Every structure is written in structure tokens, then in C-alpha cells.
Amino acid sequence: MHEGTISARLARFITASVRASGTPMWRFERFPDLGPEVLNDDLARISTPSALALWEQLTLTEPGPAIGALITEGTPLGTFGLWDYLISTGDNLAESLKVAIGHLACIGDVAAEKLQVIEDGRTFTVRHATGSWVPDVVEAIDLFALAMLSTRASAATQRPVIPLEVTLTHRPPRTYQRLAAFFGTRNIVFDAPHNSITFADNDVRARLPKATPGLQQILTEHAVLTLSASKPVLRWHDRFRATLDAALREDAASLDRVAQRLAMSPRTLQRRLAEHGTSWREELEQTRHQQAMELLRRTDLPLHSIATRVGYSDARALRRAVQRWEGRSPNLVRRDPVTVGGPAEA
């Protein structure tokens, strides 16, 4: 039941990071699961598409995808709730990380995020992979995951834990000094087969300062109870719309791609939509309408750019669509955005 969602704690942190970047928050006003009453409820589960919209906005700020790592700098234990304490209360870092990874649902989307531990007696490596989204967003999330492991390792041991190596599947940036300073090593390998962070075995086997016999078991049981009591804020149809909204922004709004993100076949998705009295075509049209109006009223983007963003071949196709929806041209929408219009009746 937690697939396709993240914890309110994590969503709260990403939202705060977007605000701190100075980004206007108007884009997120219509997201039903990003309001303060939802984000402040630790039992709420926020849809992954809503979280991805936040991540996309973050990557538009300087320094791009690297922001995924840099926003974790200086975050104390407890920032991410129960998941942080699972990492810091076991006998040693290695065993605590395994327990926390086994309870990834406490913080992230287990349908999209994969963590794997590899040990060889000398080193301790954690690999990470995420879903198929916009490349910059994927890179930011990958860096965030590795940075989380790095910062939590140092916080749990109460001393600097410098990774032996960080590997990324992404292409090297023009400069990565800030990432090298963040991780404490220049041994960052790009175009690698996996995203991973590797620690020396001695660093992860030392007894943790906060290790308390039996405490981690209590926290693990609490994690199970918390997850059973939590629930997604969005109903299925709302989650579908959030997924479609995100896919359209990423130029991936095909029936097959959206069905894949919802972990169902295209035929099943069409059947579910029919049960809700709608269809794929109607939903795609409505989402294009919402996004186009948002971009026309809130930005100065040229018509051809807006057309591309909402899935039309050119500005002429967008003009025809706006005329159909609003009964007036895109220029009039921009000139007088408060005039009562609205989509034509079906």
C-alpha cells in the first residue's frame, strides 16, 4: 500500500529545500498532497509524482542535479524521522544500515527506490537505483540517496566517515569540486555501472555511540506499526492524475509509460479509468489544458515552448487547443487571465 508514495517527513524536507532556493511555490498550490495540513501529518504518505515535481523544481536551481547531495549537508539525525534512528541505534553502522535499508518504506518509495548492500570483508558498499524519470531529476535523487548514506554514517558514528569511493551512472559535469568537498573525496567515478558509495569495513564495524541493547528492535517494531497506520493521501484517480501530470512534464505521457509507472498494464489502466467514468484521451486533454493555462498565466515562455511542454507539435496546434478550451486566443488569455472562461463543455 506504500508503493508510489514517500513519507511526509521526506516530502517536508524537499518542500523546505525548494522554498529555501527562493523558488515561487505557486506551481504546487494545486497539488492536493502538498498542503501544510498533509505535510505536517507524519502518518500521511505523499505521492511520488508530487515529490518528483518538487525535485524537478530543485534541479532548476544552481547547482543543478548536485543540489540533491548538497541539501543534506548539516542535517542532524532525526531530520528524516524514524529512518534516521534505525541507522544510529544498532550495534554498528553496517548492521544498522542493513536494518534501515530493509525498512526503506519508512522514508521512500519502495516501488521506485532500490538499495543493495555488498560486502567483501574489506569494504562495505551500498548501491542505489531509482525510477525512470527526467535525467536531471534521476541524477539529483541518486546523489541525494548517496549523500543521505554519507551524512547519516558520520552522524551515527559521531565522527567523519569518508567514503573510499563514490560511483555514479551519470555523465561527469564540467566541474565536481562541490561534490568532492561534500563527500570528502575526489574518488568520484562517473559513467559507472552503478550508483554506489563504499566505506572501509573498519568504519562500519565500530560500535556506535548510541547503541543501546534492544532499542533497535523496539524501533523496528514501531516502524512496522507506523507503516500499517499510515496511508496515501491521494485516491487512485488522484494518483493517476498526478502521475500523468508528471509524465507530461517529462515528455513521457504515453499510455504505456503511465501504465508502467502505475505498475499495471495499459488495458487495466483503461479499464480503471472507465470505472471512474473517464478515458485516457479525456484525462490527457484535461491535463494538457491545466498545464497550458498555468504556463500561459504564470510564465513568459513563448507559445512554441509551451506547445512542446504540453505535448503539441507546434504553436498552431496549441492555439487551436486554447481556442477550443477557453473560447479565446492564447494572447487574450495572457492579456486578461482573470476573464471568466474555462473549458468548453464536452
Residue 268: CB atoms within 10 A of its CB come to 12
Cβ atoms 208, 93 nearer than 8 A: yes
pLDDT tens figures, 299-310: 888 999 999 989
Tell which phi-psi region holds residue 322, choosing left (phi > 0), alpha (psi between -120 and 50) or beta. Answer: alpha
Assigned CATH for 5-229: 3.90.1520
pLDDT interval class at 335 (50, 70, 90): confident
Instruction: Determine the longest span between alpha carbons in the chain, in angstroms.
Output: 69
Read off the pLDDT of each residue in 264-285 and give the average, rounded to a whole number.
Answer: 94
Strand 123-129 versus strand 195-200 pairing type: antiparallel
Please provide the average confidence, as pLDDT, over all residues in the chain. 91
pLDDT interval class at 2 (50, 70, 90): confident
Domain residue limits, the chain:
5-229, 236-335
- Give the pLDDT of residue 317: 95
| pTM assigned to the model | 0.81
Question: Is omega for the bond preceding 63 within 30 degrees of 0, making it cis?
Answer: yes
Fold agreement between 5-229 and 236-335: no
What is the CATH topology of the domain spanning 236-335?
Arc Repressor Mutant, subunit A (1.10.10)
- Give the pLDDT of residue 180: 96
Name the burial class of residue 74, with classes exposed (0-12), middle (13-18) and buried (19+) by CB atoms within 10 angstroms of its CB.
exposed
- Give the pLDDT of residue 249: 81
pLDDT interval class at 101 (50, 70, 90): very high
- Give the pLDDT of residue 178: 93
